[in-house]
Amino acid sequence: MSTTLATLLEEFGGELAGATSSSTSGITISGIGLDSQNIKPGEIFAALPGNRAHGAEFAEKTVATAILTDIAGARILKDRGEQRPVWVIDDLRSVLGLIAAEIYDHPSQKMQVIGITGTSGKTTTSYILEAGLRETGAKVGIIGTTGTRINGTKVPTRLTTPEAPKLQELFAMMVEQGVSHVVMEVSSHALELGRVTGTRFAVAGFSNLSQDHLDFHPTMQDYFQAKARLFRGELAARNAAVVIDEHWGQEMADIAEGNTQECWRVRTHLADVDSASQQADALDKATGAEVVVTAAQLAPSGNQQVHVQITGEEIEIDLPLPGSFNVANAALACAMAKLAGVELSAFIRGVEKVAVPGRMESLAQGQDFVAVVDYAHKPGALEAVLATLRGQVSGRVGVVVGCGGDRDSSKRAVMGRIAAEQADYVVITDDNPRTEDPAPIRAAMMEGARAELRKAAGEAGLADESAHLVEEGDRAQAIKLLVEWARPGDAIVVAGKGHETGQIVGDTVYEFDDRKVLAEALAGNGAK
């Protein structure tokens, strides 16, 4: 698995500095990477501009055989007297994935790559797919928010969707280990920044779209169009499954139908559907959906009994995940598996064993109320989690929630409003402040919550606001307050960080795990 620098130059163009074309003919390239500390001899160092510095500034510290960079990087390298071949491509991100795919011999073409995009549900859907596929006997790679695994074994990565060189290297590693199917979350950043360029997707899935990442995408339409890259143009998957429960999904399905070999519409809303097949069939025809959830009931065990029609075939799933949004995630996963040619009976056996860390993860320490940790850090996700708990418990609902710093500031008041609207008790706290002062973040959320409480009360102020809304910057103390508030029959949720095991303050990551802190608070509070 190698090529020559001369071959790459011929295929992808650009200009060569620091060496003549004749001197490159014998240079063999075995890899490519962005991390200057991990480049090996025989590899290309891809020097890209960063938020704080240009990658070219670190080139001299590498043992790279050649350096790939843009015009700005080439100037830096020239000023520093770089003698190694410097390959210069102006719009480097547009071709970086293609170059990496060529170097690693196009590994995504040797497996079935299943990509999932959408605002919420990507991680859960990927876990469902992984569990189902492994039950069929397939060797499975997974790439996403909670990291990378190859047949259950963790591989160190940092981003939800790694940068193109790392992604193609991971694919090549998976091919070497006999992986047949890769399940990966595909973020809007990855699509916009070209991280998945050079990847061939067998199946793509779309879950939903709600406000998120508007610090990166100027508008919701821009955000949507970034997601749409997975369903049209050069990246378009061979087949697609799209949840059409809201208008963004309907628009995405229209795009996918014109650009994929086969697109299945997935309808999961149950408001006007009962178990009667006649009614389900009528709605199926009315919406053009190939995949229709016909029933979903919560069992005493906490599992959901889900009935889904897939192109007329009725399947039943004993789903060990609560919430209507998880019904949608499961239906989408089944549709994607079917489009990938998977036999569903074995797949469903795996789905019925799935566990997703930090996603509606219940904790029990002998208490007589429901305690849950969830990754909900976006308005739509928070609303879905609280609505689910509201519908499944007889008592009250309480929540601890914050917003991250250095991220979309427009959602802060919205998150506060949703929390106050959906919960009986709200504790506003810090999430990952990063480089921001956390106090203004909390203040924005508090104002959104207060506005909702004033609206609900029908007056200018609310005298007993403190009984419903608390601000507590210390996240551990906030969790403790929530536990102390709960009584039999209630449900509490610690939202925002889910599986994460650290809290980012400034440039430092402090150890913090919502699940551990909540478990300790429950144990310390004693059974009520």
Residues of the chain with pLDDT > 90, as a percent, come to 68
pLDDT digits (tens, 9 = 90+) for 447-466: 999 999 988 876 545 445 55
Q: Taking 90 as the threshold, does the pLDDT of residue 275 lie above it?
A: no
Q: Would you give the DSSP letter of residue 58?
A: G
User: Across the chain, what does the average pLDDT equal?
Assistant: 89
Q: Tokens 């919960």 sit at which residue?
A: 423
Q: Is 503 helix (H, G, I), strand (E, B) or coil?
A: strand
Q: Taking 70 as the threshold, does the pLDDT of residue 494 lie above it?
A: yes
Cα distances (angstroms) measured from residue 373 to each of 201, 321, 439, 500: 32, 13, 23, 11
Q: Taking 90 as the threshold, does the pLDDT of residue 389 lie above it?
A: no
How much is the pLDDT for 459? Answer: 55
* Beta carbons within 8 Å of 472's beta carbon, 6+ residues apart: 427, 428, 429, 478, 481
Q: Please, what sign has the CA dihedral across residues 424, 427, 431, 433?
A: positive
Q: Is 429 helix (H, G, I), strand (E, B) or coil?
A: coil
Q: When comparing pLDDT for 19 and 507, which is higher?
A: 507
How much is the pLDDT for 273? Answer: 40
CA distance 215 to 192: 14
Mean pLDDT across 48-75: 94
pLDDT digits (tens, 9 = 90+) for 328-374: 999 999 999 999 999 999 999 999 999 888 877 878 788 888 888 99
CA distance 192 to 188: 6
Lowest mean pLDDT among 277-286, 312-321, 390-399: 277-286
Q: Taking 60 as the threshold, does the pLDDT of residue 286 lie above it?
A: no
Strands 181-185 and 31-33: unpaired
Q: How far is CA 522 from the centre of its chain?
A: 29
Mean pLDDT across 184-204: 93
How much is the pLDDT for 117? Answer: 96
CA distance 360 to 323: 8
How much is the pLDDT for 442? Answer: 97
Q: Taking 70 as the threshold, does the pLDDT of residue 283 lie above it?
A: no
How much is the pLDDT for 455? Answer: 85
- Predicted confidence band at 528 (pLDDT cuts at 50, 70, 90)? very low
Q: Is 19 helix (H, G, I), strand (E, B) or coil?
A: coil
* Beta carbons within 8 Å of 209's beta carbon, 6+ residues apart: 118, 119, 220, 223, 224, 227, 246, 248, 249
Mean pLDDT across 406-416: 94
Q: Would you give the DSSP letter of residue 90?
A: T
- Predicted confidence band at 34 (pLDDT cuts at 50, 70, 90)? very high
DSSP character string of 297-361? EE-TTS-EEEEEEETTEEEEEEESS-SHHHHHHHHHHHHHHHHTT--HHHHHHHHTT---TTSSE
Q: Taking 80 as the threshold, does the pLDDT of residue 418 lie above it?
A: yes
How much is the pLDDT for 315? Answer: 94
Q: Taking 50 as the threshold, does the pLDDT of residue 301 lie above it?
A: yes
Residues of the chain with pLDDT > 70, as a percent, come to 90
- Predicted confidence band at 509 (pLDDT cuts at 50, 70, 90)? very high
- Predicted confidence band at 324 (pLDDT cuts at 50, 70, 90)? confident
Strands 153-155 and 181-185: unpaired
How much is the pLDDT for 299? Answer: 65
- Predicted confidence band at 287 (pLDDT cuts at 50, 70, 90)? low
Instruction: Pull the structure tokens for residue 466.
Output: 């403190």
How much is the pLDDT for 382? Answer: 93
3-state secondary structure 362-375: ECCCCCCCEEEEEC
How much is the pLDDT for 277? Answer: 45
Vertex 424: Cα angle to 418 and 430 (nearest 5): 60
How much is the pLDDT for 274? Answer: 41
Instruction: Pull the structure tokens for residue 304.
Output: 């959901």
Mean pLDDT across 117-124: 91
Mean pLDDT across 171-177: 96
Domains of the chain listed by start with CATH number: 3-102 (3.40.1390.10), 105-267+323-351 (3.40.1190.10), 361-525 (3.90.190.20)
How much is the pLDDT for 66? Answer: 94
Mean pLDDT across 264-292: 63
Q: When comparing pLDDT for 83 and 298, which is higher?
A: 83
How much is the pLDDT for 260? Answer: 94
Count of H-run helices and E-run strands, the chain: 16, 26
- Predicted confidence band at 213 (pLDDT cuts at 50, 70, 90)? low
Lowest mean pLDDT among 39-48, 153-162, 483-492: 153-162
CB 370 within 8 A of CB 487: no
Helices (H), 13-70: none
DSSP character string of 451-491? HHHHHHHTSS--TTGGGTEEE-S-HHHHHHHHHHH--TT-E
Lowest mean pLDDT among 2-6, 75-79, 266-270, 431-435: 266-270
How much is the pLDDT for 103? Answer: 97
How much is the pLDDT for 444? Answer: 97
Q: Taking 60 as the threshold, does the pLDDT of residue 379 lie above it?
A: yes
Q: Taking 70 as the threshold, does the pLDDT of residue 1 lie above it?
A: no
